[in-house]
């Protein structure tokens, strides 16, 4: 570990000499070739003294390096040469300026759940945001100021205990900004829209190291872009979000496990439940979220998936019951229900810190599709394919095919043109994650299965253009399917890129402008894995 303040005391002499070697401005561009492979120790000694006292710089030899760089999904991994962990948001302009002066690519990370293949392009400095974890409820009780490294669990718990809630992703272990910069889907969207709809202002460090504030009144076009395409534009060092009175003391939840013979009835009931995609006035905001999956429960069968479904309702069992009657009528293998405070809802619906969903270190080869209704025939085909693949490859037993149905009232209430999030018309979000211990000999089969499943979803919705929720993207989907097919959206985003990030430094997370770096590791990594497919063809 290179704890900077200790380093500064114990190595004063070394620092003095290294201070002489502080980076020159990159006058002729040559330093991009001569200094972009700087050792982390050099970075610690040059950059470290400029940062606040409890900041850290870790290199591969430091014991903390592994903790800071371990990833939820190791299938597509950025290459990390060093980790800089700022202790103050004021450090970030200095870090970005230092990285630029030395030609070092940089990328902000919070909880390291990013899964897209484009992250494999990255080879450089990880800005680890995890120390920037403040959660400060404002005195008027209308907003909260959050550090750029906060994550869902902490926000839910801290706000709830003070009598509030705000939007976040549904899974406790995931960062706030990773999801929110791409819109952010979560259990409160029936009330307040996608997560970024609750942004009030963002403090952003731009590609050139300048710190600015963006909001409805300051850089409003960039504010628009940060709400759906934000990974392309800057490092968010802190933000202010709306908060809301928490309402009821407990939420009701009910989970069902059905055997496969009930599949058609389950999806017909679900289509009725959301009124064939016309959520308005039907799928009430209180009936916040239901999520199903095809999954293997070994105690039931190791070769035949069951249908797991979880519903959560902001209120009592009695109030929820009319919406659940149709599902109760389908005989289940087992059910479970109860009332818990909102921060405990992830734990009882399969998305909590201790859930299998939050386990680090497994490959999750994935593809998503955004839909409006469940095509029951397609759902059966996908289920049959699931069993076929599990029988063929027992190593894939932890695979899940997920079907998410968020209440949509709050999302629909917002004019779609007012943010870069383009998919307000897609109430249903489906997603396969072929899950297995890293094993390259299985990669080809995993990719083929995931893709076939996604293609079945899209083929079953011929009236819809394929849509890709940017945070669930595999990374080879078309830019339009992630950021919207209306030409003005990409034109506006690319215009803003030219203005705020002309050198395309933020190009590692489903970029609007693909990374052109000839040294990119992405092509080789990706082509090795994307067997038989075009890696960056960006076509569906
Ligand atoms: C188990 C699991 C559950 C999920 N559940 C949900 C969900 O309920 N709702 C939902 O919408 N999505 C969900 N997702 C998808 C999720 O939105 C993305 O995986 C997201 O990238 C994760 O963010 P992170 O901070 O955890 O990961 P990281 O890898 O740390 O960050 C991902 C990317 O976000 C950007 N980023 C992060 N912090 C900052 C910052 N401060 N400033 C600028 N850029 C930043 C960077 O581009 C980074 O590469 C889930 C993913 C997983 C794996």
| C-alpha separations of 418 from 220, 285, 414 in Å | 10, 22, 8
Burial of 38 (0-12, 13-18, 19+ CB in 10 A): buried
User: Do the Cβ atoms of 272 and 326 come closer than 8 Å?
Assistant: yes
Ligand 1 binding residues, C-beta < 6 A = 72, 107-115, 129, 148, 169-171, 174-175, 177-179, 181, 184-186, 231, 235-236, 357-358, 471, 509
- Domains annotated for the chain, with CATH where assigned, are 2-130+495-521 (3.30.43.10), 135-245 (3.30.465.10), 251-483 (3.40.462.20)
Distance 178 CA to ligand 1 centre (A): 3
User: Do the Cβ atoms of 447 and 533 come closer than 8 Å?
Assistant: yes
The closest of 72, 151, 67 to 119, measured between CA atoms, is 72
| C-alpha separations of 478 from 468, 469, 522 in Å | 9, 12, 17
Q: What is the position in ligand 1's atom list of the atom closest to the CA of 469? A: 11
The pLDDT value given to residue 517: 53
Query: Around Cβ 274, how many Cβ atoms within 10 Å?
Result: 22
Cα gap 302→304, rounded to integer Å: 6
Cα gap 211→200, rounded to integer Å: 17
Q: What is the position in ligand 1's atom list of the atom closest to the CA of 109? A: 30
The pLDDT value given to residue 516: 65
Cα gap 521→536, rounded to integer Å: 13
pLDDT in tens, 247-292: 999 999 999 999 999 999 999 999 998 876 666 555 588 889 999 9
pLDDT in tens, 344-360: 999 998 899 988 889 88
- Indicate the top mutation candidate among 106, 113, 227, 349 to test ligand 1's pocket, ranked by most ligand atoms within 8 A of CB: 113
pTM to 2 decimals? 0.91
The pLDDT value given to residue 523: 38
The pLDDT value given to residue 38: 82
Distance 475 CA to ligand 1 centre (A): 14
The closest of 54, 42, 46 to 19, measured between CA atoms, is 46
The pLDDT value given to residue 274: 83
3-state SS, residue 78? coil
The pLDDT value given to residue 356: 86
3-state SS, residue 288? coil
pLDDT in tens, 93-128: 999 999 999 999 999 999 999 999 999 999 999 999
| Matching residue, tokens 């899964």 | 115
Distance 261 CA to ligand 1 centre (A): 36
Band of pLDDT at residue 524, cut at 50, 70 and 90: very low
- Indicate the top mutation candidate among 116, 179, 182 to test ligand 1's pocket, ranked by most ligand atoms within 8 A of CB: 179
User: Do the Cβ atoms of 43 and 125 come closer than 8 Å?
Assistant: yes
User: Do the Cβ atoms of 305 and 294 come closer than 8 Å?
Assistant: yes
The closest of 510, 496, 501, 508 to 538, measured between CA atoms, is 510
pLDDT in tens, 357-376: 898 899 999 999 999 999 99
User: Do the Cβ atoms of 157 and 146 come closer than 8 Å?
Assistant: no
Q: Where are the beta strands (DSSP E) in 198-288?
A: 199-205, 211-215, 235-242, 244-245, 251-258
Distance 231 CA to ligand 1 centre (A): 10
- Mean pLDDT value across residues 41-52: 93
Distance 511 CA to ligand 1 centre (A): 15
Q: Enter the tokens of residue 406.
A: 């968020």
| Matching residue, tokens 């009882």 | 348
- How does the average pLDDT of the chain come out, rounded? 89
Looking at ligand 1, which residue's alpha carbon is closest to its atom 16? 179
Alpha helix (H) residue ranges in 76-212:
91-101, 152-161, 177-180, 189-192
Cα gap 350→399, rounded to integer Å: 14
pLDDT beyond 50 at 519: no
| Percentage above 70 pLDDT, the chain | 87
Query: Around Cβ 67, how many Cβ atoms within 10 Å?
Result: 12
- Indicate the top mutation candidate among 174, 197, 235, 430 to test ligand 1's pocket, ranked by most ligand atoms within 8 A of CB: 174
pLDDT in tens, 460-500: 999 999 999 999 999 999 999 999 999 999 999 999 999 99
| Matching residue, tokens 């799928």 | 283
Looking at ligand 1, which residue's alpha carbon is closest to its atom 25? 175
Looking at ligand 1, which residue's alpha carbon is closest to its atom 21? 114
More confident residue, 520 or 188: 188
């Amino acid at each position: 570990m290179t704890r900077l303040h200790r380093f500064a005391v114990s190595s004063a002499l070394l620092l003095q000499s290294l201070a002489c070697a502080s980076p020159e401005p990159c006058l002729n561009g040559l330093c991009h070739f001569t200094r972009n492979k700087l050792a982390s120790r050099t970075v610690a000694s040059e950059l470290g003294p400029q940062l606040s006292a409890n900041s850290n710089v870790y290199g591969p030899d430091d014991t903390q390096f592994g903790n800071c760089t371990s990833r939820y999904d190791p299938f597509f991994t950025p290459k990390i040469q060093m980790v800089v962990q700022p202790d103050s948001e004021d450090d970030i302009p200095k870090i970005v300026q230092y990285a630029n002066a030395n030609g070092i690519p940089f990328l902000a990370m919070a909880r390291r759940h990013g899964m897209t293949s484009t992250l494999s392009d990255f080879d450089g400095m990880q800005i680890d945001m995890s120390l920037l974890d403040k959660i400060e409820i404002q005195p008027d009780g209308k907003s909260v100021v959050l550090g750029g490294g906060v994550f869902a669990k902490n926000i839910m718990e801290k706000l709830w205990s003070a009598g509030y809630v705000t939007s976040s992703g549904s899974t406790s272990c995931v960062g706030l900004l990773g999801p929110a910069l791409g819109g952010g889907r979560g259990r409160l969207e029936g009330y307040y829209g996608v997560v970024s709809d609750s942004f009030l202002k963002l403090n952003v460090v731009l590609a050139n190291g300048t710190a600015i504030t963006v909001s409805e009144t300051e850089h409003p076009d960039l504010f628009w872009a940060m709400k759906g395409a934000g990974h392309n534009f800057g490092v968010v060092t802190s933000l202010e979000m709306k908060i809301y009175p928490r309402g009821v003391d407990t939420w009701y939840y009910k989970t069902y496990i059905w055997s496969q013979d009930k599949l058609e009835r389950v999806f017909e009931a679900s289509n009725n439940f959301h009124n064939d995609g016309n959520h308005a006035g039907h799928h009430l905001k209180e009936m916040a979220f239901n999520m199903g999956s095809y999954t293997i429960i070994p105690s039931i069968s190791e070769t035949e998936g069951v249908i797991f479904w979880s519903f959560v309702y902001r209120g009592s069992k009695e109030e929820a019951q009319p919406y659940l009657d149709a599902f109760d009528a389908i005989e289940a293998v087992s059910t479970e229900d109860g009332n818990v405070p909102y921060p405990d809802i992830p734990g009882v619906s399969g998305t909590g810190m201790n859930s299998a969903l939050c386990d680090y270190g497994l490959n999750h080869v994935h593809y998503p599709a955004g839909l409006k209704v469940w095509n029951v025939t397609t759902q059966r085909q996908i289920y049959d394919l699931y069993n076929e693949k599990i029988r063929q490859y027992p190593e894939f037993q932890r695979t899940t095919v997920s079907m998410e149905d968020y209440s949509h009232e709050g999302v629909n209430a917002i004019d779609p043109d007012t943010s870069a999030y383009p998919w307000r018309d897609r109430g249903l979000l489906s997603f396969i994650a072929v899950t297995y211990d890293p094993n390259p000999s299985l990669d080809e089969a995993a990719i083929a299965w995931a893709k076939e499943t996604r293609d079945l979803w899209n083929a079953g919705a011929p009236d819809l253009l394929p849509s890709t929720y940017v945070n669930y993207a595999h990374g080879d989907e078309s830019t339009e399917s992630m950021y919207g097919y209306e030409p003005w959206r990409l034109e506006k985003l690319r215009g803003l890129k030219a203005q705020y990030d002309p050198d395309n430094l933020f190009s590692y997370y489903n970029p609007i402008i693909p990374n052109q770096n000839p040294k990119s590791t992405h092509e080789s990594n990706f082509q090795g894995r994307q067997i038989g497919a075009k890696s960056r063809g960006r076509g569906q």
